[in-house]
Amino acid sequence: MVQFDPNRPDFMPYGLTCVRWTPSPMRRPDHHTEIELNLLETGWVTYLLGGRKVRIEAGHLSAFWAAIPHQIIDYGDETEYFVATIPLAWFLQCRLPEPLVQTLMRGEVVSEPDSRRMNFDSTLLAQWERDLQDGSKEKREIIMLEMHARLRRLAATVPATQAAAKKQRLRTALQDGGLNKSEQMACLVAQRYLEPLTVAEISDKVGLHPNYAMNLFKKAFGTTLIDYLTHHRVSHAQRMLVTTDEKIVEIAFSSGFNSISRFNEAFRRACGCSPREYRVQHEKAP
């Protein structure tokens, strides 16, 4: 069983993977460029993802874009699940139905509503896990064909899940009282990272002294408020680079950065390449 490694570098890619995970509290959010699939065989997990709590139940294949900062904050006893990661460039080249692609690129979670597919999906992902351990090129190609087919089937559920997702966001809004102070700060950042937020403003919104707020946040999530804010802005820029033709300078400012040099520095530090190089790497196939 695999657990999250809090020491792994931000935005470090996993590549094409499928492994069994056991959940553990994540002291900081994870970020990586792949589309992530979760299939819980037992139990449940609650993520803080994109500024809201999202609970994933057993028996429902779920997908989200993992460049959105995400971290497990709670889970059921004896929860076991599969995690599969799909490289973003390949995902985009599949030319899947736009409702699925755009929903994931907006930071939404798409879940298979029918739990009767649980046994099929469990068998399928277990086969992917075994085949990837084999390491053969032929089996990787088979897996990618099967992933493509499964994602197309998942895409057919998107119209039915959009309304439910909207209701869930409303239920878990910042003002609903269901979040502790650290989670409120994380949600505030996720909801307003495009604005010129300051630590003083964030701490004031949750009724804490700035120094106490920063210490509390670092203790809860293992990262600073400023770094957390920067992660969200870089994630937004990634999304814009992949899904639009906007100029890079426009993306920099629309992502919340106040200078192109600060944007380039933060992006390269997080992603290991320039924004222009990132766009080229993830261009859709013609």
The closest alpha carbon to 259, from 202, 196, 201, 200, belongs to 196
Return the number of other C-beta atoms located less than 10 Å from residue 199's C-beta.
17
Q: What is the mean pLDDT of each run of 10 residues along the chain (286 residues)?
A: 78 88 84 89 89 88 87 90 91 87 84 92 97 92 96 88 49 48 79 88 93 88 84 85 90 94 94 91 60
d(CA 37, CA 64): 7
Give the alpha-carbon dihedral of 151, 152, 153, 158, to 10 degrees.
Answer: 90
Q: Are strands 62-65 and 70-75 parallel, antiparallel or unpaired?
A: unpaired
Does residue 18 sit in helix, strand or coil?
Answer: strand
Give the model's pLDDT for residue 11.
67
Residue 79 identity (one-letter amino acid): T
Beta bridge partners of 72: 47
Q: What is residue 51's predicted lDDT score, i.e. its pLDDT?
A: 65
> Residue ranges of the domains in the chain?
17-170, 179-281
Q: How deeply is 35 buried, as exposed, middle or buried, from its count of CB atoms within 10 A (0-12, 13-18, 19+)?
A: buried
CB-based contacts of 208: which residues, under 8 Å, 6+ apart?
181, 216
Size of the chain, expressed as the number of residues it contains: 286
Sequence-ordered list of residues with C-beta below 8 angstroms from that of 255, at least 6 positions apart, any chain: 194, 233, 234, 236, 237, 240, 263
Q: For residue 23, how many other CB atoms are within 10 A of its CB?
A: 21
Tell me if domain 17-170 and domain 179-281 are identical in fold.
Answer: no
Residue 136, token pair as written in the block: 């053969």
d(CA 182, CA 222): 11
Nearest-10 Cα torsion for 51, 53, 58, 62: -20
| pLDDT of 175 | 42
Determine whether domain 17-170 maps to CATH 2.40.30.160: no
> What is the per-residue pLDDT for 183?
72
Looking at residue 63, its pLDDT comes to 97
pLDDT of residue 261: 96
Span 179-281: which CATH code? 1.10.10.60
Output the pLDDT for position 149.
97
pTM of the model: 0.67
Q: Which residues contact 226 (CB under 8 A, 6 or more apart)?
A: 199
Q: Are 67 and 13 in contact (CB under 8 A)?
A: no
Establish how many alpha carbons lie within 13 A of residue 68's alpha carbon, considering only the half-sphere containing its beta carbon: 23
Residue 141, pLDDT score = 93
What confidence score (pLDDT) does residue 160 get? 56
| CA neighbor of 60 nearest in space, from 38, 78, 79, 45 | 38
